[in-house]
A and B are shown apart, each in its own frame.
Chain A
Amino acid sequence: MFSKEDIIKYADKLLIGLSDEEANTIYDEFSLIDKNIDQINNIPSLSEVEPQFMPYDLYVATLRDDEAEESVDVDLILSNVKDKEGREVRVPKVVE
């Protein structure tokens, strides 16, 4: 169903590099998950069930009062940036 090459491809999509050992471990682990998932997929009438994405449905959407809030100081936001210039983050040229 999937190969070690697929795993490296999916890691690359996330901009993550894998060593051979890491790719092998994920491959082994996924074989196990796939087996376990079969236990899920064999549950009768599963397709008729609505997927649940949150623990419960208690949320009430409300709007806050239309009051201005203080913005966060830009210097604070940039306080962890390793390379900056004034109010901007310095990165390599994006458009080549």
Chain B
Amino acid sequence: MTIEEINKEKIDTKKLVTEAVKLSKEANDKYNAFVTIIDKPKVGKKKGTLNGIPYSAKDLFSTKGILTTGSSNALKDYIPFYNATVIERLEKAGAVLVSKSACDEFGLGGTGTTCHTGVVRNPYDIKRQAGGSSAGSAVAVAAGIVPFALGTDTGDSVRKPAAFCGVVGFKPTYGVISRYGVLPFASSLDHVGVFTNSVRDAAMVVDAIKGPDGKDMTALPKMDDFTPSIDGDVTGFRLFYIKELCDINSYENPSKELRESIEKFNEVINKCKELGMYVIEESISKDLLNAIQPTYQVISCAEATSNLSMYTGIIYGPRGTGANINEMVKDYRTHAFSPLIKRRLVIGSYVLQKENQERYFLNACRVRRMIVDKFNELFNQYDGFLTMASGAGAPLLDEASEVLSEEAVLENHLAIGNFGGYPSITIPSGYVNNLPIGINITGKVLDDAKVLNIANKLEEKIGFKGGLK
């Protein structure tokens, strides 16, 4: 159910909160989506735009007095003494936190299979991944437990699980939402994002949490609300898609799923045209597209190495043992970090070494500029970039591999939205192999309202508002 419907039908939100807690407990047996379920949620007296609406927050958001683990054994007993800014703002808007959702450890992963509480399962097929890293938040909305959930997105960690779980996933322009109190992964790429059942709900939630924050130097100044303009006329808008990603002829041996996904994408293009928009094919050099994944891996691992150095086990987290501080920290990190995190951190350390910086880290940052320059150039000619969120539905759990591999460019290209800090939204667009798939719309920096406007009109046209179920 959408927030819009709850408000319109004047549903008793006290019952809704009680129901959400009950459903969370039932769902955890099936999907393993939550680290913490709050038995008696704090219902504030404040009446805001999200009054009485229950929600779930990824376990990277600091919550005062409530366990915040980052889905890692390194913080398995950590209880913050302060709230993240977004948690404060949601409280002021009247929303009620009912659970902390599981994610890939510290957000470093794309499968939802590396949480310290175990694997998160997809509500459409429990043998499949929910996607990551914001796996539990996507499941919380897809399974109808809460109308919205908070996630974070460093490469595609909101927009990909949204596609795999058949819900809306939106990350606004970098800096629109404060990240104060959010456990960091890669600071130049990290965004806060939201999962909802409709584009309008995504706009409403972001309107409630966006805005400047003296505690986050990357937070942008005040801007107008996005919700009022999402019903605007899109006639004449110009969208582009990339031939090398979305044209079946660009693939030598496309799978049946990819073939069907591209057919669905072409149907979406036709719907855009029926709405009066122009959709034009653009081409980008394969060299640049192939460079997206390694660029992301190098930059994100390097930044993670810096950010995760704060975990020592001395002032929070379980203490390691040893005769001196170095031995204690090493014992803690060796046992508390999962093999995946260790791999990422070692790679980050390697690419940052003085002798390697030029070849790895700085060259990755140069490619980042080339990609961002190319997209900025395209955004000067177009209102938005239309693309497929993935080339198929959610993969099977036993296909989950966090070892970096030569995956298709298509499966990693949403990181473009993080390189340039662009507003980017995934909405459900149909089924392939009985699994939900999504399309993604990305716009230029600060064009959040336009991206939401296009997505809202397209959502109406596609007809999956309120979730796929």
Contact = CB atoms under 8 A, between A and B. Distances in A.
A87 interface: no
A49 B362 CA distance: 10
B433 interface: no
Interface string A41-55: 111001101111111
Given A15-B326, A32-B405, A52 B372 contact: yes
Contact of B349 (A14, A50, A60): A14
A68 interface: no
26 contacts: A2-B350, A7-B346, A10-B350, A16-B345, A17-B333, A26-B347, A32-B405, A33-B404, A36-B290, A37-B360, A40-B295, A47-B366, A51-B366, A51-B368, A52-B369, A53-B188, A53-B365, A55-B188, A55-B419, A55-B422, A59-B218, A80-B77, A81-B316, A82-B319, A91-B314, A94-B324
Given A51-B366, A52-B368, A80-B79, A39 B333 contact: no
A36 B294 contact: yes
A11 B405 contact: no
A91 B325 contact: yes
B212 to A, nearest CB: 10
Contacts of A14: 305, 309, 333, 345-346, 349
A33 B295 CA distance: 10
B40 to A, nearest CB: 21
Contacts of A54: 188, 421
B346 A26 contact: yes
A90 B360 CA distance: 40
A10 B339 CA distance: 15
A89 B365 contact: no
A26 B360 CA distance: 16
Report the 8 A-B pairs with minimum CB-CB distance, sorted nearest first. A55-B421, A51-B365, A17-B334, A36-B294, A52-B369, A80-B316, A49-B366, A76-B81
B288 A13 contact: no
Contacts of B419: 52, 55
Given A39-B294, A92-B328, A56 B174 contact: yes
A13 B218 contact: no
Contacts of B325: 91-92, 94
Interface string B163-175: 0000000000011
Given A33-B294, A40-B291, A51-B368, 16 more contacts: A11-B345, A15-B333, A18-B346, A32-B406, A33-B298, A33-B404, A36-B293, A36-B294, A36-B297, A49-B370, A52-B366, A55-B445, A83-B319, A89-B315, A94-B324, A94-B325
How many residues of A sit at the interface, in one of the four size bands?
35 or more
Q: How large is the interface on B (under 10, 10 to 19, 20 to 34, 35 or more residues)?
A: 35 or more
Contact of A16 (B79, B342, B370): B342
A41 B359 contact: yes
Nearest to B367: A40
Interface of B: 77-79, 81-82, 174-175, 188-189, 214, 217-218, 220-221, 287-288, 290-291, 293-295, 297-298, 305, 309, 314-319, 322-326, 328-331, 333-334, 337, 339, 342-343, 345-347, 349-350, 353, 359-360, 362-370, 372, 403-406, 418-422, 445
A16 B337 contact: yes
Contacts of B316: 80-81
B346 A11 contact: yes
A81 B315 contact: yes
A70 to B, nearest CB: 12
B164 to A, nearest CB: 24
Interface string A28-39: 111011001101
Contacts of B189: 55
A28 B333 CA distance: 22
Contacts of A40: 291, 294-295, 363-364, 367
B346 A39 contact: no
Contacts of A77: 81
Contact of A30 (B287, B319, B324, B347): B347
Nearest to B326: A15
Which of B325, B347, B367 has the most C-beta atoms of chain A within 10 angstroms of its own C-beta? Answer: B367
Nearest to B369: A52
Contacts of B287: 39, 42-43
A43 B367 contact: yes
A29 B372 contact: no
